[in-house]
Structure formats: C-alpha cells, structure tokens
Amino acid sequence: MSQQLTDAIYTYLANTPADQRWGEGELFVNTELHESGTSGMLFLSTGALAHDGRDFLERALARVRHGFEQNEIPGFRGHLDDEPEQIWRHEDAEEQRKLLSLGIGLTLDRP
C-alpha cells in the first residue's frame, strides 16, 4: 500500500496546475507506512541543497497538505502532522547525489 500511496501523491503533484506549483526542480516522493497501514511518514526530497531547496520542499508539502485536506489525492484520505519531524541533507545511493529531504508524519483514515 505504501507504493500506491507514493504513486497517488506523486500523480497529484504532477497534475497540479502551473499557477499552483511550488517552483521548478526535481521532487522525489516516498512514503513508509507502519504495519497498521494507517500511519507512517511522507518524505519529500530535492537536489536543491541551498535555502531555496527548503522553501521548495515546504511549498510542495503545503500542496500535499491541501490535497489531503480537500480529499484530492486519489484513493486516499488522511492528514499530515502539523510540522515536519526533520529536514536533512544526505547522500542518496539510488540517486547517486546529495539530496535535501523533509519527513513528516501522516495518518490515513480507515476506509
């Protein structure tokens, strides 16, 4: 289910109208759900490491939050925590470069 949620969020973001976008640049989306399947973490990442990268992630996060609040993320209902748990720079082996990432708790409503 985690991959389905990741795909749904990515699709929602990809279909955002141009006037509501969070900026230019690559955005990576990943989710990890706990065994219950109703709570976990959302991770947003970008290759922009400077101050603009943090703003970029925070604007993308605001868009995802809006999607959950308005029930616009296809197949999923839920909400995000009030504040990100962490924002950090790291080397990503899969992308083979440094990324700036934001992690925030999420809770899905039971169907």
Q: Domain holding 77: CATH number? A: 3.30.2000
- This prediction has a pTM of 0.88
- Count of the separate structural domains present in the chain: 1
Range of the domain at 45: 2-108
Q: Which of 19, 32, 98, 30 is nearest to 63 (CA)?
A: 19
Identify the residue with better confidence: 73 or 26. 73
Given pLDDT bands bounded at 50, 70 and 90, which one contains residue 50? low
The predicted pLDDT at position 101 comes to: 93
> How does the average pLDDT of the chain come out, rounded?
89
Residue 8's Cβ-count burial label (10 Å; 0-12, 13-18, 19+) is middle
Proportion of the chain above pLDDT 70, given as a percent = 94
The predicted pLDDT at position 95 comes to: 66
Question: Which residue's entry shows tokens 């065994």?
Answer: 35
For the chain, helix, strand, coil in percent to 5 are: 30, 30, 35
